[in-house]
Amino acid sequence: MDDRLISIIDDDESLRLALVGLVRSLGYRASGFASAEDFLNSGDIDASSCLITDIQMPGLSGIELKHLLVERHSPLPVIMITGRADPALRDKALASGAICLLKKPFEAAALLACIERALAA
């Protein structure tokens, strides 16, 4: 059981709940948000050890959120997930400083590997 908090942002409720459930099954604490704005307003930025966020969302996208975090000099490692197979998107995501980019649907083992990488950083 690891005490570290992993925050999860996805506008799709089913997927968000599933991710929260998966992260908890991996032994971490998890908390879910429906939008980047909700996360920013939550005050959990500093408390989080890792952020998993969807890219395509109404309002702020996952990549825009990462840019904001960089502006705020936040060390929070970000894992991005997307449903799109767009190579240009992949480049943008990694260029923004994301630790990992996962394509939906992904295997839990892949997410676990990304989380471990993010927490080690």
Partner 1 sequence: MTEAFADTADLLDLVRESIFVRDLEGRILYWNKASEALYGFHRAAALGQDVATLLHTRYGVPLESITAQLHDTGRWEGEITRRTVSGEDRQIFARWSLRPSNTSGPATIVESGHDITGRKQAEQALGNSEYRYRNLFQAMAASFWELDFSAVGQMTRKLRAAGITDLHRHFSENPDIVREMIRQTRVVDVNDQSLALFGGGDKAVLLQSIEPFWPDASSMVYAESVVAALSRKPNYAAETRLRRLDGHEFDVLFTACFPPESLARGTLLVGVIDISARVRAQAALQKLQADFAHAARVSMLGELTASLAHEVNQPLAAIATNGEASLRWLGRPEPNLDEVNLLARRMVADARRAADIISRIRSMASRQVQEKSALPLKAVIEEALLFLRHEMQGQGVMVSLDLASDLPPTLGDRTQLQQVVVNLLLNAMQAMAQAGAARRMIAVTSRLSSPDTMQVTVEDSGPGIADAHRAQLFDSFFTTKDAGMGMGLAICRSIIEDHGGQIWVDAAAADGGARFSFTLPALSQG
Estimate the crossing angle of helix 13-25 against helix 108-120, to 10 degrees.
70
Residue ranges in 93-112 that form contacts with partner 1 under rule CB under 8 A: 104-108
Shortest CB 12 distance to partner 1, Å:
5
Q: Does 25 bind partner 1 (CB under 8 A)?
A: yes
Rule CB under 8 A: say whether 24 interacts with partner 1: yes
Among the listed residues 2, 21, 42, 94, the single contact to partner 1 using CB under 8 A: 21
Least CB distance to partner 1 at residue 85 (A): 10
41 versus 106: smaller Cβ distance to partner 1: 106
| Residue 31 engages partner 1 in binding (rule: CB under 8 A) | no
Residues composing the chain:
121
The per-residue DSSP string of the chain comes to: ----EEEEE-SSHHHHHHHHHHHHHTT-EEEEESSHHHHHHHT-TTTEEEEEEES--SSS-HHHHHHHHHHTT----EEEEES---HHHHHHHHHTT-SEEEESS--HHHHHHHHHHHHH-
Name which of 72 and 103 has its Cβ closer to partner 1: 103
Chain residues binding partner 1 by CB under 8 A are: 11-12, 14-15, 17-19, 21-22, 24-26, 56, 58, 83-84, 104-108
